Structure 1
Amino acid sequence: MSYRDAVLDLLLGGRCVGCAAPGRPLCPDCAVLLEVAASPAWPTPVPAGLATPWAAAAYEGLPRAMVLALKERRVWALARPLARVLAVAVSAATAGAAGPFVLVPVPSRPSSVRSRGHDPTATLARLACVVLRGQGVDATAYRLLRSRPGVLDQSGLGAAARATNLAGSMACRTGPLRDLAERTPRARFVVCDDVLTTGSTAREAQRALESVGLQVHAVATVAATRRWSAEGQGAGALKGDPRLSG
């Protein structure tokens, strides 16, 4: 254990979310495991018309623990490493395409934002843009979408129920849309989320953007659950280490 980790453990009682080593929320050994590559992650079944979804990790082990710790326990120190993973997915999704790129976070339900005290997906999209701009990519994040009332918690819902629950649940915010039209008139849009499960959420976000004339180039997520079809198995590349593959 490093001196820094020893001090953090003494003062805060912190533990790494990956291996439970005392100290910082993500120890150096586990941080190395996040040097990942993204691949298409098509869910099964695929929502009709879904733009190509990309994920940089399987939603299990370390990535899952990090997402949940940020989302549910507000472990802020995990936002930047998760944003770097999201940036990997965005880079793969936009490879060979000309920018500028606009990252559009999937909106959280207002009740979730109130209970959690933050909007993790919006935070990850904003920080991923910082990473991408540092790599010379013309990228910005815009919270173009809002969630309409009446959407149920998705936990435990299957693909069909999720699609029904989300149908028509998102709309574009007119103020940010006007600002975007002035600043980046030729942008390519990438829907961003923390986790891809059935693809219903991403497809609804895509529908809402396309309903106002914006073409979605791709979907990019930190991680994907193991629901993808044969042509999208690459998102399971993170395996072989118990901290990654559970």
Structure 2
Amino acid sequence: MRGWWQDLTDLVLPAECGGCGRSRTVLCPECRAALSGAAPRRVRPVPEPPGLPEVHAAAPYGDEVRAALLAHKERGALTLAGALGTALAGAVRAAAAGPEGGPVLLVPVPSARRAVRARGHDPVRRIALAAAGELRRVGTPARVVAVLRQRRAVADQSGLDSRRRLENLAGALEVRAGGARLLGGGRPVLVDDLITTGASLTEAARAVRHALVHEGGRTAVYAHPTREEMGERMAGSTRGTVVRAAVIAAPPDSFETNRN
């Protein structure tokens, strides 16, 4: 028969590691290393959708990393948010590196409302908040700016190829009223838990660019600056904001260093 102290322990300590299933730990040292043990790297899905911002990922998507992400997202293992946020923070630091000033603005890619209701929480926003806290802890000014929202319903992405995912999401996101002003006050980094085809981040970047260019008035946004655009920025003829992106995980073959 279980004692009351065992029931209390289950409320305080998770029953098993979110990555490998080891008992009595949120995430074991080996699984933490799989998430955050390597330096974040640039990733490019194949094919790379036009308009995809520069994306950095913390870890390859597989085994323990996949298990931890699914446990947090689909099974409500909310205690994993801290470890996942630490991994995302590393990718955000890599993505935000550069001469631009101001605080780092983490912009979560929004989930469909029906998905949030079904899960009982918004996993990407929760991880983004944890990542912002970790960035501030190590001295990087950062905050979450949840300005993106879905403007129309989209079909379930599972089972769709890269082209159909882009078509499904085209024009689906927008920046909330007043969001452009918030985004113009720092270094925006789109954040998500996972990149596969890049369709979600491409649409999120489009919505942010549109808001900054058309609503912000003075701000020009370059996902992949051309030589002419870089010249404009250096000359000071327009204020440029580079939109980048960071994720926790990406398919192993999307990491640039893994390509032939």
* Aligned-residue offset at 1:177: 4.2
Counterpart position of 1:226:
252
Instruction: State the one-letter code of the partner of 1:101.
Output: V
Structure 1 residues 39-188: aligned runs within 5 Å: 39-97=41-99, 98-178=101-181, 180=182, 185-188=184-187
* Aligned-residue offset at 1:158: 1.0
User: Across the two proteins, how many residue pairs are aligned to each other?
Assistant: 226
Query: Contact conserved, 2:42 with 2:55, CA < 8 A, in 1?
Result: yes
Structure 1 gap ranges (5+): 235-246
Give TM-score, length-normalised by structure 1.
Answer: 0.83
Structure 2 gap ranges (5+): 1-5, 214-220, 222-241
* Aligned-residue offset at 1:126: 1.4
Instruction: State the one-letter code of the partner of 1:233.
Output: N
Query: Contact conserved, 1:41 with 1:233, CA < 8 A, in 2?
Result: no
Instruction: State the one-letter code of the partner of 1:198.
Output: T
The percent of aligned pairs where both chains have the same amino acid is 42
Q: Distance in 2 between matches of 1:232 and 1:163?
A: 26
- 1:32-76 CA distance string (max 9 Å, x none): 443331000100011112111110111111111111011001101
* Aligned-residue offset at 1:113: 0.6
Task: Evaluate the alpha carbon distance shift between residue 55 and residue 13 of structure 1 in structure 2; reply closer, same or farther with a 3 A threshold.
Answer: closer
* Aligned-residue offset at 1:20: 1.8
Q: Distance in 2 between matches of 1:38 and 1:133?
A: 18
Q: Distance in 2 between matches of 1:11 and 1:218?
A: 37
Q: Distance in 2 between matches of 1:223 and 1:21?
A: 22
Task: Evaluate the alpha carbon distance shift between residue 186 and residue 17 of structure 1 in structure 2; reply closer, same or farther with a 3 A threshold.
Answer: closer
Task: Evaluate the alpha carbon distance shift between residue 150 and residue 96 of structure 1 in structure 2; reply closer, same or farther with a 3 A threshold.
Answer: closer
Larger Rg: 2
Q: Distance in 2 between matches of 1:11 and 1:134?
A: 24
* Aligned-residue offset at 1:110: 0.6
Instruction: State the one-letter code of the partner of 1:174.
Output: A
Counterpart position of 2:39:
37
Query: Contact conserved, 2:105 with 2:144, CA < 8 A, in 1?
Result: yes
Relative contact order, CA 8 A, sep 6+: which one is greater? 1
Counterpart position of 2:19:
18
Task: Evaluate the alpha carbon distance shift between residue 118 and residue 10 of structure 1 in structure 2; reply closer, same or farther with a 3 A threshold.
Answer: closer
Give TM-score, length-normalised by structure 2.
Answer: 0.79
* Aligned-residue offset at 1:140: 1.2
Cα RMSD, aligned residues only = 2.6
Q: Distance in 1 between matches of 2:87 and 2:200?
A: 20
- 1:125-145 CA distance string (max 9 Å, x none): 111111111111121111110
